[in-house]
Structure 1
Amino acid sequence: MTPQIKQSARELRRLQTRERILGAAIAEFQASGMAGADVGAIVSAAGVAHGTFFFHFPSKEHVLLELERREEARMATEFVRYLRRSHDLTAALTKVVGLIAGLEQRLGPVLFRELLALHFSPTRPSDDDWSDHPVIVSLVREIERARGDGEVHPEVDAFFSAAFFLLGVYGVLTTVTSSDTRDAMLANLITTARRGLESR
């Protein structure tokens, strides 16, 4: 029984170290962007040796991948919880916009753009596909639900509709700085997407 306790303690220390490195890296990325982030500053803030960073994260890009996975899971959980309540498709699209805009506010514009740049990068160090991203999976299911309920046209492709909508949201958030203009564009995006999906 003692070896199992030691193993658990070692695993707990490993996870705590990983969390310290992740937190320090996120703070550095928020201040300097990923390209300008200094691994030396990250390990110094985390209180670990230089090689420990690369033991946990093979590259700075892998830090962003970890952050992306966590944030997507968090947003998807909140979105699914929202979808359990009474709603229509317009309200669901509005909720998605709110979740993504909230992510940008939480991370800051620099890190948010870095996250999106990596997400769409052809050199992204991951071989996942859209079904590995719980937010788009949940939105696709919601559009499919609405299609089944007759809210949207029966020939609507749920995946492409979800993907184009999310691309529009990302585009507005990363290119428009005026909050009034941005809010108006996002509201128009929701209205336009909804009209494009209508069954009649």
Structure 2
Amino acid sequence: MTAQVGVSAREVRRQQTRERILAAAIAEFSRAGMTGADVGAIVTAAKVAHGTFFFHFPSKEHVLIELESREEARIAEEFAQYLDTPRDLCALLTEVVHLVTGLESRFGPLLFKELLAQHFSPTRPHRDEWTDHPVIVLLVREIERARVHGDVHPEVDAFYSATFFLLGIYGVLTTTDHPDTRTTMLTKLVDSAVRGLEVR
């Protein structure tokens, strides 16, 4: 019984250390980007030894992968709650835009772009399938549901439609800085996506 308590206490300390490192890394990445981030500054802020960083995260890229995974899970949970009430396609896609732009607002444009660059990087340490990403899974499911109900054209491919829509959001956010232009482009993106999906 004592051994189990000891292991549990060690695990709690390990997790607390990991969270401190992650928080310090997020702050440093937001300031300097991943490439320019100084691991020395991260470990100083987290109050850990230099080797402790690499014990928890083999590389700076692994920090971004963990952050992406956590944030995607958080966004997916919010999106799933939103979907508890039936929505039309326009409202559904607008909510996806809102959730993604909210992520950029939380982390700032530099870290947001770093997350996207890492997500699409051919040298990403861990490549995964689209089914490993809960946001796209939910969006595909909703488009497919609308197709089955006759609200979406029967020849629409839900996966490609969802993927192209998300890529469109990322494209606008990473190439356009002016707020009014962004708003217009994102609104038109939603309108175009709905017109491309619905039965004509």
Common fold by TM > 0.5: yes
Give the aligned length: 200
In structure 2, the residue matched to 1:149 is 149
The Cα offsets for residues 95-128 of structure 1, whole Å up to 9 and x where unpaired, read as 0000000000001000000000000000011121
TM-superposed CA distance for 1:129, in Å, is 1.0
The Cα offsets for residues 143-182 of structure 1, whole Å up to 9 and x where unpaired, read as 0011011111011000000000000000001110010000
Correspondences of 1:145-184 after superposition (within 5 Å): 145-184=145-184
Give yes or no for the alignment of 1:75 onto 2:75.
yes
1:89 alignment partner AA: L
- C-alpha separation between the residues in 1 aligned to 2:140 and 2:183? 24
Moved over 6 A (4+): none
TM-superposed CA distance for 1:86, in Å, is 2.6
Among all aligned residue pairs of Structure 1 and Structure 2, give the percentage whose two residues are the same amino acid. Answer: 71
- C-alpha separation between the residues in 2 aligned to 1:195 and 1:99? 21
In structure 1, the residue matched to 2:24 is 24
TM-score (normalizing by structure 2): 0.99
Unaligned runs of 5+ in 2: none
In structure 1, the residue matched to 2:133 is 133
In structure 1, the residue matched to 2:86 is 86
The root-mean-square deviation of aligned C-alpha atoms, in Å, is 0.5
- C-alpha separation between the residues in 1 aligned to 2:3 and 2:119? 41
1:111 alignment partner AA: L
- C-alpha separation between the residues in 1 aligned to 2:183 and 2:13? 44
In structure 1, the residue matched to 2:43 is 43
Unaligned runs of 5+ in 1: none
The Cα offsets for residues 18-47 of structure 1, whole Å up to 9 and x where unpaired, read as 000000000000000000000000000000
TM-superposed CA distance for 1:55, in Å, is 0.2
